[in-house]
Amino acid sequence: MPCPVCESAAEGKELLAVIASVFNQWRVSGSKVTCSDVCHERLVACLEAEYGTHYRCVRMSTGEEFRVPTRDIIERGVKERDLDQYPHWDEEDGPHART
Ligand SMILES: [Zn+2]
């Protein structure tokens, strides 16, 4: 997969439009998708601006909701078994995109 940050710049596309389409696949893979640290930081900033600094992840089997740093999702990927290390999502944390 080409670096989405460079690709969006080269094609004059909104970065968010490029990365939103592959965000779900990163959530589980945690693979590095950018070509450099500079691109990586741009990617994190863009996703945090869109989704917030924390992402609301739902454990499908129980319906529990967890508050997962957006950066962790991008850098490591978060699998269902990883969710226990994160705090539960409280309603006062506000609504965010659900998985
Ligand atoms: Zn790049």
Per-residue pLDDT at 66: 93
The pTM of this model reads 0.72
Cα separation, 13 vs 7, whole angstroms: 8
H or E element at residue 39: helix 37-51
Distance 53 CA to ligand 1 centre (A): 22
Q: Could you list which residues have their CB under 5 Å from ion ligand 1?
A: 3, 5-6, 35, 39
What is the average pLDDT value for the chain, to the nearest integer? Answer: 81
For the cut 60, the answer to whether the pLDDT of residue 51 exceeds it is yes
Q: What does the pLDDT look like over 39-49, one tens digit per residue? A: 989 988 988 88
Q: Name the residue with higher pLDDT: 18 or 59.
A: 59
The one-character DSSP state at 60 is T
pLDDT of residue 90: 81
- Residue 92 CA to residue 77 CA, distance in Å, equals 25
Tell me the CA–centroid distance for residue 94 and ligand 1, in Å.
32
For residue 48, what are its two tokens? 């945090």
